[in-house]
Structure 1
Amino acid sequence: MKIRPSLRIYFFASMVVLSSAMAIGFSFLSVNYFIDGLDKGLNGVMFALSQTAKVEDGQPIEMVGFSVASRWEDMPKEIKQRFIKPTHNGVLQKRADKSSFFSMPENLFFAVYYQNEAGESRYVSRIMLEKDRPRKQITDEKPMQRLFWIALTGVTAIALFTFFLFMVMKKIAKPVESLRGWAKSLNQKNLQNTPPDFTYNELNTLATLIRSSLLSAHDSVEREQRFLSYASHELRTPISVIRSNVELLNRLSEKAPLSDKQQLTLQRIERAGLTMSDLTDTLLWLSRNEEQQSSPEPVNLADKITTLSTELNYLLIAKHVNVALNTQQDCTITTDATACHIVLTNLIRNAYQHTQAGQVHISQQGSKVTIINCSAKDDAPVAKTSTAKHASIGYGLGLQLSEKIIKRHGWVYEVNDMPGRYEVVVDFS
């Protein structure tokens, strides 16, 4: 299972890491500035001594703990062991003896080279030994204890910052959670209601945009449903007139036989009328609201498939198509009978209509229906033809409308489209 990133956790972790990095960085910077300030102060004292002290070769002098000499050879032995002879004017050199990284320095050594106003060389050094420190500065505190208190102070500061950050995020996240819950609860009934106040202006603006977008989409869907309903209702009357007149012409033709061309034309009109009748039934069903859907009732799939196959046989006239039915006669399912009838009609119609020569296999196993039509010619897959998106070439509008009905009922639907073979599987369970 893929863990999706959380904006709240990302922001919280980023702020904690950033604050910790800043605290540690500024701590090191403060220590560095503090030590640098001490070094500059000490260097200033050593410069003053180099300018005022009168020193001769071989006779270094000691002044307030500092050694001043005119030659490097006259410096104390400890200084000469730890430093090389300085050549750059005013550059302070220092060394520290310490047992560990976190412990205080035990001994400190400083050395610097200056030239006085007369151009004479002066070497100034200072040695600070642990044994020379005042006794009141010597404590029994161990380095690890000092490190513990420093770490405890830092952790406490970070914990306080994290706590206040958590409180701020909680205050900000609460309206965001409310916005998410409100957006998830939107439906046709409460979409017209004014959005609640989400505290912050940006969230209120976002809520208004969400509501406006959903209202626009809802209005579009309503207009589409009204159009489908009106168009389907209005089409039923002329379609009924066409079919009635076709039946009348068929009866009249029994008394006064029509020519072959007239009979062929009449059959085309009859087939077109049946197709339009099925299509309007599908559109009318799709234009219904969910509350208007039919209640489930028993349906014998085997009888339904056999009846529809017989009724749609006119689509195979003058075609070299072999139809094979394989059904279970004793299988009855409980489902929406109207929707099931529309789906099976459209699927069988498409299989018959778009197979010019070959075989159509219709099998039923329980609630599962499989329709396979194999063409004698290896036509290109329907999905790849540009005309299949528009008219009846390929598996057209009826199949697309059937897919919508299937999705609305949550039935299992599979399509396998290959050159010369098209397979549709529907499970009405």
Structure 2
Amino acid sequence: MKIRPSLRLYFFASMVVLSSAMAIGFSFLSVNYFIDGLDKGLNGVMLKLSQTTEVKPGETKELVGFNIASRWEDMPASIQQRFKKPTEVGLLHKTKDRPSMFSMPQNLFFVVYYPNPEGEPRYISRIMLEKDKPQLLANIEPEQRMLWIAITGIAAIVLFAFFLFMVMKKIAKPVESLRGWAKSLNQTNLQQTPPDFTYNELNTLATLIRSSLLSANESVEREQRFLSYASHELRTPISVIRSNVELLNRLSEKAPLSDKQQLTLQRIERAGLTMSDLTETLLWLSRNDDQQSAPEPVNLAEKITTLGNELDYLLNSKQVDVLINTDNQNTTINTEATGCHIVLTNLIRNAYQHTQQGQVRITQQGSRVIIVNSSAQTDTPHSANNTNKPANIGYGLGLELSEKIIKRHGWVYEVNDMPGRYEVVVDFS
């Protein structure tokens, strides 16, 4: 399972890491400045001693813990062992005894070279041994000092993380409220003014969300009204066309029409039936969800057989074989009858209409209907469309409208599109 990244967690972790890095960095910087300050203070004391202390060659004077000599050979042996003879004026040399990088220094050694006002050399050194520390400081182990430093640092980071969490919680609460409000929006509460989300930016975002949804909702309503009005308006001319076709069929019984006239009349009749079915489909789709009727018993086997026969005119002058396999004629299922009728009509019409040569197979198993239209045509290498798939097989407006109806009812719907074969599976359960 893929874990989605959280913006809140990312921000929290980034701030904790950044603050920890800054705390550690400033700690090292503070320690460095502190030590540098001590070195400068010590160097200043050594300079003063070099300018005011008289010392003869061969002897060493000790004042307040500092050793002053005029010759390097007169310096303490521990200083001579750890340092080379300094030649640069005023440069403080230092070293320390430290068992490990995480332990406190035990012994410190300093030495510097200054000439006195007469130009005579002066070497000043300072030795700080662990055994010479005050008893109060000597009782504190270096490990304890490092532990307290670590505890103090961790406590500071934890305290910062706690305050950061509280600030984020205060900021995140209005954001969570905005998300909950956006998820609860529907046609009923969309007309209401958005609540106050504390921050101006969130209020602006809520206003934009509401405006966008209002615009989309108005567009959907306009489309539904257009479909409803157009379907109602088309009903009248389609009814006129169909009634006049029926009248012409009756008149042709007394005065037979020519073959061309009969063929033209059949085309008008087929077009009228197609327009009638599409109009009913568009009108049904424009209805609101609360206007849908309750499920009722539907005999799928009988309906498929009836529709197959009624739409058989679409196969005139075509070399298409139709195979219909259904269950027991007495078997019924409970489903939305109008939607089921429209879907089956459109799918069967679509299969008949877009198969020029080949086979249409309709299989019904309980509430499951499988419609397969396949082509027996083969293309030559010099064909305009060099493909085994028949032209426009399986496609049409009826198929798209059927998909919308199926989606509205939540029926199972599968499409298998292969070269030369188009299969549609619908389960009306």
Map of 1:298 onto structure 2: 297
Q: Which residue number corresponds to residue 7 of structure 2?
A: 7
Counterpart residue number, 2:242: 243
Q: What's the secondary structure of 2:348's corresponding residue?
A: helix
State, as a whole percentage, how many aligned pairs show the same letter: 79
Instruction: For 2:109, give the aligned amino acid.
Output: F
Map of 1:247-262 to 2, 5 A cutoff? 247-262=246-261
Query: What corresponds to 1:179 in structure 2?
Result: 178
Give distance in 1, aligned partners of 2:377 and 2:244. Answer: 38
| 1:378 shift after superposition | 5.5
* Deviation of 1:394 (Å): 6.0
> Structure 1 residues 317 and 19, CA, compared in 2 at 3 Å: closer, same or farther?
same
CA contact (8 A) 2:414 2:425 kept: yes
Which residue of the partner structure matches residue 314 of structure 1?
313
Q: Is the 8 A contact 1:298 1:335 kept in 2?
A: yes
Q: Distance in 1 between matches of 2:366 and 2:333?
A: 8
| Deviation per residue, 1:358-411 (Å, 9 max, x gap) | 1111111222111111112358799x99x97xxxx8611111111111111111
Match of 1:415 in 2: 415
CA distance in 1, matches of 2:401, 2:137: 92
Once the two structures are superposed, the pairs formed by residues 112-123 of structure 1 within 5 Å of their partners are 112-116=112-116, 120-123=120-123
Partner residue of 2:335? 335
Q: AA paired with 1:47?
A: L
- The change in CA–CA distance for 1:293 and 1:136 in structure 2 (over 3 A counts) is closer
> 1:108 aligns to what?
108
Q: Measure, in 1, the Cα distance between the counterparts of 2:360 and 2:401.
A: 21
The residue correspondences of 1:335-414 to structure 2 (distance < 5 A) are: 335-377=335-377, 395-414=395-414
Partner residue, 2:382? none
Counterpart of 2:232 in structure 1 is 233
Change (3 A) 1:46 1:250: same
Alpha carbons of structure 1 residues 130 and 260: separation in structure 2 relative to 1, 3 Å: same
For residues 63-142 of structure 1, what are the structure 2 equivalents within 5 Å? 63-116=63-116, 120-139=120-139, 141-142=140-141
Matches within 5 A, 1:161-172: 161-172=160-171
1:336-363 per-position Cα deviation (integer Å, ceiling 9, x unaligned): 1110111111111111101000111111
| C-alpha distance after superposition, 1:179-236 (max 9, x if no partner) | 1111111101111011111111111111100000000000000000000000000001
What is the TM-score normalised by the length of structure 2?
0.92
Q: Quick check: 1:212 aligned with 2:211?
A: yes
Matched AA of 2:336: D
State the partner residue of 1:279.
278
Amino acid at match of 1:305: I
Residues in 2 aligned to 1:89 and 1:413: alpha-carbon distance in whole angstroms? 93
Q: Which runs of 5+ in 2 are unaligned?
A: 380-384
CA 1:76–1:347 in structure 2 vs 1: closer, same or farther (change >3 Å)?
same
2:105 is paired with a residue of what secondary structure?
coil
Change (3 A) 1:396 1:65: same
Q: Which one-letter code corresponds to 2:214 in the other structure? A: L
CA pair 137-422 structure 1, distance change in 2 beyond 3 A: closer
Residue in 2 aligned with 1:268? 267
Counterpart check, 1:160 vs 2:177: no
The whole-number CA distance in structure 1 between the counterparts of 2:25 and 2:331 is: 77
Structure 1 counterpart of 2:400, one-letter code? Q
1:118–1:416 distance in 2 versus 1, CA, 3 Å? farther
Distance 1:53 1:335, change over 3 A: same
Give the secondary-structure state (helix, strand or coil) at the position aligned to 1:191.
helix
SS at match of 2:294: coil
